[in-house]
Structure 1
């Protein structure tokens, strides 16, 4: 990883704070993850590994139909199976029978109809998982099958609208000298995390339930579970269990309510673990999209207008579709300066599987559309595709189509230059391991064509449109064994992104201590919000920082005599700005521990105007660029991604090694969408719900990645940092497809690109 920004990294600190580079394992360092070695050795305890005495197993009966009316349910045969302790249907839900992140429209268990294949109808608890599954299969459900609505256009025409977001800026009738149009499609991508949905619900003596679960948002789960159980929120206690990946799919509930219902009914702990096929229908997916774009430009390549229509298939229930639609609309023209913009983005209900949050959250679909258009426009103008992008690149101070001014660094041109100027990979050789198709020997070197493609994307960071985005943190400083020790407690979900190190790094930096303990995330502390929207380092990091600063202020009151204006905690000592030691932490803590709980918020955002789409909707913007090099055998439809160069501005690399991992991982997920990942849904039925048929990139598919990291501080963010996790996913896909187009000359307007798209057999 290089840092080509040059010179010292700009940072944003607190008045009175000294530079933090000297702090061991603090901000800007890459401490070893405490869970890293355990995961590598296979010893880490994931949620599916949970166990309790007298534990029962839960299983779910799901609808085989995407649309049907339920005319009867008979559970007698299931209840008669030895070892079965409970069989529950919608009639057994004691509280609210519907749940949802934004709109409570999804039944806990299907009531009088089912709206997608895989919708839960009944749940069973038994003393063995196979017994529970056999019993669930014996439940007799009578269905009156209906014709499903699976075409988003038909759904829109039928009025099944979830949200429409219009963006209007400038002259809607603007004309241009050069015009290109295009229609693009993005398939349904699955988050494909390796750890399936799982958790353990334990009934409590106070009539409540303790739930240990892999999730992204403990307090959102708590709220919805309590409502469904008909219990006060304080009687539903959640603790984060080991999470085997998330990428957005764990924002919505899966087994949480079902396991809790069964535990309270039976009075025994109940564990639920989905199988892989069940997981594919048990969580939300990336919205499939159809995008129509028209770009107008001057003959020298200056964008005059963009007109776009974006249609997102939200599936059966709402989930986060309204927010995804807003992102697709507000970011729908990309990181470019365009004076005249008309965008209409729609989300609709169908009888396809529900769609919701996935890494990139609406920006992925839009980026494939607008970046494909920029390549078409470059061809029409006879311009280099990177040069065209640079001519229109937004900068700090640019005004977005929503009217919001970009008030932080926006190094769009610089990122493009970095990937463009990277040395190219070596030419293709004859070694079959380096050819499309690999060692199968199906491709000969003389059939291979090489292509290079570019793309850049924009992503908002944190929640938007006036959502009360906040995070709480409790930090305690005390003497343990005579050594100052910080205990950091938040409800932030560690889902693999490395937050467990970030919290400790901030505490070390702010408090000048070596020993930091990060407590298990649970609901006994205030909400940290969701581990999504690239927000946790920004939000929970900001909360931990604020709590530490409040602790430092408390410690200053223990000093005898006047308190200097500027102080710092370094190496267990409180010093003034001349370096003079005022007191040791050991002495200051001799009077007892100090503890502070802080709820931290970023600057306010505002809803988009429902008629014009104008408004300061977002907190922060992040940017990443990619150059992809591919080798293609067009006769056989085989693609090998040879190399990917990427550049990203991260504001401040709190943990440089983790930043690099996020860029690698996000790029790999974008590669998957480009050439292999699609959940195939035909007439509402999932056709490839397994890792045999739903392909994800392996180590053999992921090429070498050359990464440049800029650290241009955002003046409004803690430490100047910028959310990192999502941007690399956004532009990786269109860059790879652009490279395939360059190699083949084919228009390729749909992702993922399949072999038949290259051979002309589709």
Structure 2
């Protein structure tokens, strides 16, 4: 158009720096825990010490009598609906007559100092009648004599997949696998500030993943219409799924409305472990049947996911695990049963990978066993069964965009392996640097028992919401003159949780409008919903909405400049130009509850990993020497940010493989701290070799393919496979602990007569 040049400087495809990046790395960024108002008071939550108990009485008198205490609230003080929930409203705002997990909120306290509020919470007297806790998910699902956690029964969802009828094969491999309970382990704990408003409503400044869903749950519990509950995104210190559910949102608002004062709540690290959902632990049984040359004939599987005390997103997690339970492989006969169950263990919900992670660990372990049984390489068995564009998934859905899995595997296998320092050329590294050895500077051997292993992992992950969910986003784009120069304001409710979404919105606006000056407004509920920052969906859906709004603005600007006037001249005459657009991807459909058939997913993404590890087989210590990955992203929106996403996803997968697990015994959490819950540090993360493919998805904006989650899937089985290769052990559970290697190795030696 005559008055506008379409420029790509700092646009889509460029490694643009994040607008919030400098503040974050210099420590100047304001996170939600930094929120402050001069007259605010502090809220604290009293939580149950028991995983299962009746509440016989609550005496708040001693707490109310303490100086500086403004309010003590129980379920009787909830002004509206007493229950909320993402998928099913089964979770009480405050425990009513019973508690179903350790850490369940029972009462709230507001005081003029956080320590005074904590002491007052400790003064609340609660009489519990402890009862049997349901902690075994298999018993919860299948034992009719097991107590029910909820009156509806213990099975939240059972999703079968039924395809074909031929379940015999010349080669059969079976396995039972477990995945532990992983925590999202974000560094910024749950926090927010609720401010009572003059209209009787409340303004909430909150670190969350989904502003509008929060409001939809908060408003009924406060007894308020949604328009009087206004949410603004505060600085988020990581999320990974744990901020998709509510934590302290309703509690802070209740206290603010009761006291008439701004109320701030900030969890400490221990409370954070109790205050958000975790990754579902899983128990899985798999059977793969194949021809003698390794071509799959059938897959049978049972996937059991422990959802803990409340529903959260368990039904959707079950749907993902079932629909992707075979992995990215062609097979004509499939029999899968996926279950999500209630127990009195900590509640579980969304975490990066969302059901696909657990299944991936099992089916990839099976593919390695199949390769061994058929006498072929782990890479070759995957290539022979790999899906491609046009393949049909177990749900009957056709892969209608590029899926070059065989090519990705060949490229990965062709990458050079890291060299060994061993002078005799063996696989055992002999380095003078202790940091190169398993155990690092704390090692107690000189490498005599160190063995090297190489393993591969492949994962397939759905992008965007699935199974008929109305998945959409809204964007408002405004162009106006500021200081005599054109300026773009982009406004969405999409949550920036560290993934670089602010930057991507800026890049899209620059690309579509050719204007360098772009500002992204603070996300809040004054604009239409953008959905959740999860399912690797925001670049796709909110990116699509921003692009659509920009296109609408561009059309109007083209008309204004059609007379040959400049953009500045046109804006001087017309004033601001603003457009709002919603974007929806193509529809999806629920899985059939009997056969599991249905086009349930919008987009599918692939990532493949190779891991190289050194293992001290005597001490059970593991050092990951290198991770290599090949991922197809459709279109690179920002190369530097994309590499960061792949590195970050790989790190979380490595953590699940070797160290990350919430230890739960009889419903009690044993390690609610970063002292005992271990996450990878820079010393645990190896160098990464990346190859990023661009095969555009014709259905997606710019052809992009969500990229944040797939690396989390395939890195875990790759690391586990490498440890198995180094040790010769089966190791059917992640995370793999040192004692799993050392003790199982000794038991194997004894069994062999060693």
Q: Is the 8 A contact 1:83 1:131 kept in 2?
A: yes
1:325-404 aligned at under 5 Å gives the runs: 325-404=318-397
Matches of 1:300 and 1:346, distance apart in 2: 33
Question: What's 1:29 paired with?
Answer: 14
Is 1:75 aligned to 2:60, yes or no? yes
Is the 2:490–2:520 Cα contact (8 Å) retained in structure 1?
Answer: yes
Question: CA shift at 1:41, angstroms?
Answer: 1.2
1:398-420 Cα offsets, whole Å, 9 max, x none, are 00000000000101112212221
Residue number in structure 2 paired with 1:608: 591
The CA deviation at 1:556 is 2.6
2:138 matched residue in structure 1 = 153
Distance 1:555 1:516 in 2: 16
Residue 126 of structure 1 is matched in structure 2 by 111
Structure 1 equivalent of residue 191 of structure 2 = 198
Asked if residue 55 in structure 1 is aligned to residue 48 in structure 2, the reply is no
| CA apart distance, 1:235 | 0.3
Give 5+ residue unaligned stretches, structure 2: 145-152, 421-428, 748-754
Q: What residue is the counterpart of 2:550 in the other structure?
A: 548
Partner of 1:564: none
Tell me the distance in 2 between the aligned counterparts of 1:235 and 1:220.
15
Q: Work out which of the residue numbers 726, 732, 745 in structure 1 matches 2:709.
A: 726
Residues 278 and 347 in structure 2, CA contact (< 8 A), matched pair in contact too: yes
- Which of 709, 717, 731 is residue 748 of structure 1 equivalent to? 731
Where does residue 148 of structure 2 map in the other structure? none
Q: Is residue 2:567 matched to residue 1:585?
A: yes
Partner residue in 2 for 1:430: 431
Q: Flag structure 1 segments of 5+ consecutive residues without an equivalent.
A: 1-14, 562-581
Tell me the residue number matched to 2:479.
Answer: 477
Counterpart mapping for 1:13-28 below 5 A? 23-28=8-13
The secondary structure found in structure 2 opposite 1:445 is: coil
Post-superposition offset of 1:492: 0.2
**1:61-110 residue CA offsets vs partner (Å, 9 max, x unmatched):** 00000000000000000001100000000000011100000100000000
Summarize the alignment of residues 590-669 of structure 1 with structure 2, pairs less than 5 Å apart: 590=572, 591-669=574-652
- TM-score of the superposed pair, with normalisation by structure 2: 0.95
Structure 1 position 38, deviation (Å)? 1.1
CA distance in 1, matches of 2:417, 2:567: 53
1:167 aligns with 2:161: yes
Q: After superposition, what is the alpha-carbon deviation per residue over 1:308-333, rounded to whole angstroms, capped at 9, x for unaligned? A: 00000000000000000000000000
The answer to whether the Cα contact below 8 Å between 1:84 and 1:125 also exists between their aligned partners in 2 is: yes
**Residue equivalent to 1:486:** 488
User: Is 1:41 paired with 2:35?
Assistant: no
Measure, in 2, the Cα distance between the counterparts of 1:55 and 1:94. Answer: 22
Deviations for 1:24-76, whole angstroms, at most 9, x for unmatched residues?
11000011112111111111100000001210000000000000000000000
Superposed CA offset, 1:328-387 (max 9, x none): 000000000111111110000000000000000000000000000000000000000101
Aligned to 1:524: 526
Partner Cα distance (1:557, 1:194) in 2: 49
How much does 1:430 deviate? 2.2
1:239 and 2:241 correspond: no
Map 1:683-762 onto structure 2 (within 5 A): 683-760=666-743
Checking the alignment, whether the CA contact within 8 Å between 2:171 and 2:289 is kept in structure 1 is yes
- TM-score normalized with structure 1 length: 0.94
Aligned mates of 1:47, 1:600 — CA distance in 2: 29
Distance in 2, matches of 1:36 and 1:477, equals 25
Q: 1:408, 1:450 → 2: CA distance?
A: 38
2:390 and 2:54 map into 1 onto residues whose CA distance is: 55
Secondary structure (helix, strand or coil) at the match of 2:448 reads helix
Tell me which residue corresponds to 1:269: 262
Q: How many Å separate the matches in 2 of 1:302 and 1:19?
A: 54
Partner-residue secondary structure (3-state), 1:446: coil
User: Match for 1:101 among 86, 95, 101?
Assistant: 86
Aligned pair in 2 of structure 1 residues 393, 560: CA closer, same or farther (>3 Å)? closer
1:116 pairs with 2:117: no
How far 1:583 sits from its partner (Å)? 4.5
Return the offset for 1:511: 0.4
| Alignment size in residue pairs | 725
For residues 105-138 of structure 1, give each alpha carbon's deviation from its aligned partner in whole angstroms, at most 9, with x where no partner exists.
0000000000000000000000000000000000
Equivalent pair of 1:98/1:228 in contact (CA under 8 Å): yes
Q: Is residue 189–residue 286 contact of structure 1 (8 Å, CA) maintained in 2?
A: yes
Contact 1:436 1:443 in 2 (8 A): no
Task: Name the CA distance, whole Å, in 1 between partners of 2:325 and 2:39.
Answer: 53
SS at match of 1:600: strand
Q: Which whole-Å CA distance do the structure 2 matches of 1:583 and 1:610 have between them?
A: 60
Q: How far apart in 2 are the matches of 1:650 and 1:192?
A: 26
After TM superposition, give the deviation of residue 552 of structure 1 in Å. 1.2
Measure, in 2, the Cα distance between the counterparts of 1:656 and 1:559: 34
Matched-pair contact (CA < 8 Å) for 2:5–2:514: no
**SS at structure 2 position matched to 1:460:** strand
Confirm or deny that 1:440 pairs with 2:459. Answer: no
Aligned to 2:170: 177
For the residues of structure 1 that align with 2:185 and 2:710, how far apart are their CA atoms?
19
Q: Which residue is 2:294 aligned to?
A: 301
Separation in 2 of the partners of 1:560 and 1:57? 58
CA deviation after TM superposition for structure 1 residue 558, in Å:
2.2
Displacement, 1:652?
0.5
SS at match of 1:471: strand
- 1:260-297 superposed Cα distances (whole Å, 9 cap, x missing partner): 00000000000000000000010000000001000000
SS, match of residue 252 in structure 1: coil
1:457 is matched with 459
Asked whether the equivalents of residues 437 and 443 of structure 1 are also in contact (C-alpha less than 8 Å), the reply is no
Aligned to 1:367, the other structure's residue is in SS state: helix
Q: Provide closer, same or farther for how the CA distance between residues 138 and 594 of structure 1 changes in structure 2, counting only shifts above 3 A.
A: same
Q: Give the Å deviation of 1:445.
A: 2.4
Aligned residues of 1:165 and 1:344 also touching (Cα < 8 A): yes
Give the secondary-structure state (helix, strand or coil) at the position aligned to 1:760. helix
Are 1:368 and 1:733, in contact at CA under 8 Å, matched by a contact in 2? yes
Partners of 2:447 and 2:497 in 1: CA distance: 42
How far 1:693 moved relative to its partner? Answer: 0.2
Q: CA RMSD in A?
A: 1.4
Report the counterpart of residue 85 of structure 1 in structure 2.
70
| Corresponding residue for residue 501 of structure 1 | 503
How far is the alpha carbon of 1:446 from its aligned partner? 2.5
